[in-house]
A and B are shown apart, each in its own frame.
Chain A
């Protein structure tokens, strides 16, 4: 039994229309006989058989269009002639979906060589003035900048200033920020804290900022999208590592991270701050306290301005700002009162989240601060 398939008559023939069977089942054929007419894009072509035998069941109907290789009939021996054969249906191949990576952005005009040299010398190109064609930064420009700002020539604080400059410039270049703000009544929290502090030894007493950190850390559970990094897409983080902005007296900032802030008690958080802030000022932080931050908090502290609108540290996607705590008129349940009020601002990356997410996050923080006993 020999299968007879739709023949391939050219590399560009993919299928053919069967226009006429020239044989019937049971007909005897010999090699070279025309058994059918097939219409292709080039016209009707007679198709021949390559073996002697008896035509089996015709598996393709006239006017059917079938791909090359489709079983059309069988050429049988006399003994086989009675047997019936079912056509096989070939499976069509699966096509995997294509995913293209999102494009990345770089805006400083610098020659490739300048970039290479800058990387080798640790120079941020944002701080280099270009003198090449169209103001592009050339290798010479980088070398001049490197000479001026080589670490040996620079004070430590200048280096920190440069690092902050680079990070903030990158953030401003690349991150489309959006801002939300809300005023929070801190009276309950502060009252609860004053009570709690009465039971604690002097050195372990809590500061309001600890409550804020805990309230934020717990809110991250409710709104995980802001405890995340942007790395060609939003990557939510399992740990809540809160960066805490520490101003240096000589200028510049350090942002040590309080790792797993959500897992720590208020006392533990206070201890962490007491440990990390002096080390930050002395610039003696561990790398684990610098590179794993998932969300940054800046608190200007007592007597400061009302609200702070921050710049996000890439690759994080949000930054929370706590303004100073002031006494302010407060309307509630139809009555006017004076309360301890603080403004919380959220700067968030619009590539990663929308205002609605930010809104839920701020509401969650507020809710946590109204239930200080649960912190």
Chain B
């Protein structure tokens, strides 16, 4: 069944909001990298720089009651979902003011208030859970979508295929968003998948799918709105592939032996943040002064998140066993 969905208008206010959101993610990630090299943040740190349009565009199509699940490269989704930047930075510092009490770190951001369910660091491990959450929504007759972000690497895992089959079999309202950034860590798409057009995997399960330029936030928003509308109308799952690219290494400790610097530079020309900046200034939605002001505000917000994390406190060690069981 195909649902005809009209391309919706995006007003100036929303465009500015999308830009501000992407700038916040970009600046927050740059600051995270800095804090990592200064050993304030430890463990693994996976940056979202280059992929901001995906989280920003898709999340803008959701309502607050929807569930969101993401991967270990999830700062962008968490910010876009409205998780407080200070609580994310504090989480990465390991402070108890963090959104997961400091227990999770960069890879395990959780926030029940905004229905942000991680922060899941086993590739594809969260896909079956997303299907289960959607199944619960269906059983409880709630108008709720579960949106599940994952990468191209996850699409090679068995759990992806099990989850797609279950979602289609049970006809549950789940939006699978594949952020195809072309590399599963250091293994290029063509070395991971026999069929590299990932959206083609959906029809075999009877799932509607689409692919979109993930470097264009307006295109992503449009595609996501269509997907969400389809799911709400049919109650069935939907598979949206966003073609994107990470500008930074897989994680901080990565010499990027597997890709050519020219390739990175080519993709940087399609920077989603610069693209929207240019678009909004050239069409007159945003003046240069407005842009400078916006960047300054974002800079201040990121600085506040660092201050908040710095001022945070350590969970007392004697509470370590709290929450092993409820």
Contacts and interface: CB of A to CB of B under 8 A. Distances in A.
B41 to A, nearest CB: 10
B42 A44 contact: no
Contacts of A32: 30
B319 interface: no
A92 B249 CA distance: 33
Contact of B253 (A13, A31, A48, A69): A13
B43 A11 contact: yes
A97 interface: no
A42 B253 CA distance: 7
Contact of B257 (A10, A13, A43, A68): A43
A9 B39 contact: no
Interface in B35-69: 36-39, 42-43
B255 A40 contact: yes
Contacts of A31: 30
Contacts, number: 40
Interface residues of B, number: 17
B255 A44 contact: yes
Contact of A8 (B30, B37, B249, B257): B37
Contacts of A44: 255
A9 B255 CA distance: 10
B30 A9 contact: no
Interface string A46-60: 011010000000000
A9 B34 contact: no
Where chain A touches its partner, the secondary structure class is loop
B292 to A, nearest CB: 16
Contacts of B255: 40, 42-45
A8 B36 contact: yes
Contacts of A50: 34, 37
Contacts of B252: 9-10
A40 B257 CA distance: 12
B37 A42 contact: no
A321 interface: no
By DSSP majority rule, is chain B's interface helix, strand, loop, or mixed?
A: loop
Q: Which of B249, B252, B253 neighbours the largest number of chain A CB atoms within 10 Å of its CB?
A: B253
A10 B39 contact: no
A6 to B, nearest CB: 9
Contacts of B37: 7-9, 47, 50
A12 interface: yes
B254 interface: yes
A40 B253 contact: yes
B185 to A, nearest CB: 12
A48 B253 CA distance: 13
Residue picked from B30, B38, B43, B255, most chain A C-beta under 10 Å: B255
Interface string A1-23: 00001011111110000000000
B284 to A, nearest CB: 29
B18 to A, nearest CB: 23
A125 B110 CA distance: 62
Interface in B242-258: 249, 251-257
Contacts of A5: 38
A45 B34 contact: no
Given A45-B254, A45-B256, 20 more contacts: A5-B38, A7-B38, A8-B36, A8-B37, A8-B38, A9-B37, A9-B252, A10-B251, A10-B252, A11-B42, A11-B43, A42-B254, A42-B255, A43-B256, A43-B257, A44-B255, A45-B253, A45-B255, A48-B33, A50-B34
Interface of B: 30, 33-34, 36-39, 42-43, 249, 251-257
16 contacts: A7-B37, A8-B36, A8-B38, A9-B36, A9-B253, A11-B43, A13-B253, A40-B255, A42-B254, A43-B256, A45-B254, A45-B255, A48-B33, A50-B34, A50-B37, A68-B39
